[in-house]
């Protein structure tokens, strides 16, 4: 028999966060989160997502043992401003038992009906900067700190419970050796001259901070046309600024500005922290922080985390300026492999950006939906 319990106490939240550590205990591809950071994500007093969203969390039990978890989320910006009557759910993990996944999804379904929403979609987080999608292909590749990993049986559970594909995301990678500078070095000079643009590089985090709000505004402008996009609020900007920007290598943040010093394009790359997080085992101390700092300095693989181009400059080759700057930095650091974050299959514009790098798709993930 499967029972569910709402997560309310600090002890329950810790159990919620730690459940995947047992579910993926012997899996060499799963990348654990930092427990403290994950707990803060679910803390209404710390995560600004709760300013415009509600969430309830549930654990599933079988014979007194935790066998699954799910977060049921309503993003009110999405519902009220975009008129998408969607019930979100994420952090969805479970043993290979259809009764367990059914019980958890039923809790999400009930909340969605209570809120008079039309359908449920997941796995997704609070916003576009959270993890997204259930992995359906590429289980033999190590995960990243910004994606969920899951067992292959998850897909069959969604289909068994009457869900259909909503969106598909591709994860691609390419060897840095494939990045032939001839494809963008000349274009870099022509584009800068034609549109009176220039690159902006950084050597310390302090110099980046005055630009961060403009960067998030540009991110909102860049992706606003995508149906799934929910804008980043001013409160979230402050949160991400304080929590993440200072930890990202400043040399891995590239901006392009116009003659009036207005930001028109940006890209953020992060070193791969996957193996470091596996060694940390969910804890920063006493040794986890050293594994992360070592990866920050010495990792030979990088992940392209965010890239944005103002709509007025899209399809004008502005990314050639960004790639030219990254090529210099990656050459100096001896980067071997470049990994891209999940990108919507329908986003053909982003595919055009990368076509000269001979990328290949190594993972696919989906969100699924079902009427309430």
Within the chain, strands assigned E span 2-6, 53-62, 65-75, 86-94, 119-122, 134-137, 164-175, 198-200, 253-257, 263-271, 301-309, 337-340, 343-344, 360-371
**Token code pair at residue 283:** 């804890």
Would you call the peptide bond into 292 cis, given omega within 30 degrees of 0 as the criterion? no
> CA 70, 75, 76, 81 torsion: positive or negative?
negative
Assess whether 330 and 195 both reside in one domain.
yes
Q: Is residue 368 part of a domain?
A: no
Assess whether 97 and 145 both reside in one domain.
yes
Residue 23's alpha-carbon distances to 10, 94, 130, 205, 369, in angstroms, are 21, 8, 21, 37, 24
Q: Is residue 370 part of a domain?
A: no
Assess whether 194 and 304 both reside in one domain.
yes
Which domain, by its residues, includes 233?
174-363
Assess whether 294 and 318 both reside in one domain.
yes
Q: Is residue 352 part of a domain?
A: yes
DSSP string, 300-348: SEEEEEEEEE-GGGTTTTTHHHHHHHHHHHHHHHT--EEEE--EETT-H
Among 142, 171, 200, the domain boundary falls at 171
Residue 355 three-state SS: helix
Assess whether 250 and 330 both reside in one domain.
yes
Q: Is residue 369 part of a domain?
A: no
Among 146, 171, 196, the domain boundary falls at 171
Structural domain count of the chain: 2
Assess whether 269 and 182 both reside in one domain.
yes
Q: Is residue 371 part of a domain?
A: no
Give the chain's residues under pLDDT 70: 226-228
CATH of the domain at 269: 3.40.630.30
Assess whether 136 and 192 both reside in one domain.
no
Q: Is residue 52 part of a domain?
A: yes
Q: What gap in Å lies between CA 305 and CA 269, rounded to an integer?
A: 5
Q: Is residue 287 part of a domain?
A: yes
**67: number of CA atoms within 13 Å, CB side?**
20
Q: Is the pTM of this model over 0.85?
A: yes
pLDDT of residue 158: 98
Assess whether 148 and 191 both reside in one domain.
no
Q: pLDDT digits over 38-96, tens only?
A: 999 999 999 999 999 999 999 999 999 999 999 999 999 999 988 999 999 999 999 99
Assess whether 167 and 237 both reside in one domain.
no
Assess whether 145 and 209 both reside in one domain.
no
As a whole number of Å, the end-to-end CA separation of the chain is 24
Query: Beta strands 86-94 and 119-122: pairing type?
Result: parallel
Q: Is residue 97 part of a domain?
A: yes
* Closest C-alpha to 56, from 4, 133, 116, 130: 4
Assess whether 88 and 156 both reside in one domain.
yes
pLDDT of residue 228: 64
* Closest C-alpha to 229, from 356, 330, 132, 354: 132
Among 171, 188, 203, the domain boundary falls at 171
Assess whether 237 and 121 both reside in one domain.
no
Q: What gap in Å lies between CA 3 and CA 65, rounded to an integer?
A: 10
pLDDT of residue 243: 78
CA angle 346, 349, 354 (to 5 degrees): 110
């Amino acid at each position: 028999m499967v029972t569910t319990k709402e997560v309310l106490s600090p002890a329950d939240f810790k159990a919620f966060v730690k459940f995947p550590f047992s579910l993926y205990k012997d899996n060499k591809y799963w990348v654990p989160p930092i427990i403290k950071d994950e707990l803060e994500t679910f803390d209404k007093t710390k995560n600004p997502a709760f300013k415009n969203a509600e969430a309830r969390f549930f654990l599933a039990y079988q014979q007194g043992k935790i066998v699954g978890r799910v977060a049921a989320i309503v993003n009110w910006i999405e519902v009220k401003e975009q008129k998408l009557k969607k019930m979100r759910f994420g952090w969805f993990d479970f043993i290979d038992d259809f009764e367990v996944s059914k019980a958890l999804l039923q809790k999400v379904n009930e909340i969605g009906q209570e809120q008079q929403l039309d359908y449920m979609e997941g796995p997704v987080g609070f916003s576009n900067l959270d993890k997204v999608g259930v992995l359906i292909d590429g289980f033999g590749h190590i995960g990243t700190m910004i994606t969920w990993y899951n067992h292959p049986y998850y897909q069959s559970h969604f289909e068994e419970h009457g869900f259909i594909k909503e969106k598909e995301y591709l994860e691609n990678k390419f060897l840095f050796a494939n990045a032939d500078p001839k494809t963008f070095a000349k274009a870099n000079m022509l584009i800068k001259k034609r549109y009176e643009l220039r690159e902006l590089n950084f050597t310390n985090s302090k110099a980046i901070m005055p630009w961060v709000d403009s960067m998030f505004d540009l991110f909102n402008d860049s992706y606003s046309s995508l149906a799934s996009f929910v804008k980043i609020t001013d409160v979230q900007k402050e949160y991400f600024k304080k929590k993440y920007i200072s930890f990202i290598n400043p040399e891995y943040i590239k901006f392009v500005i116009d003659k009036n010093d207005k930001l028109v394009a940006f890209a953020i790359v992060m070193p791969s922290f996957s193996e470091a997080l596996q060694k940390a085992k969910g804890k920063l101390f006493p040794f986890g922080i050293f594994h992360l700092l070592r990866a920050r300095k010495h990792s030979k693989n990088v992940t392209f985390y965010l890239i944005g181009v103002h709509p007025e400059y899209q399809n004008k080759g502005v990314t050639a300026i960004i790639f030219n700057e990254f090529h210099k930095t990656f050459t100096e650091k001896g980067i071997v492999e470049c990994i891209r974050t999940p990108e919507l299959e329908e986003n053909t514009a982003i595919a055009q950006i990368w076509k000269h790098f001979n990328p290949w798709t190594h993972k696919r993930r989906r969100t699924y939906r079902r009427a309430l």
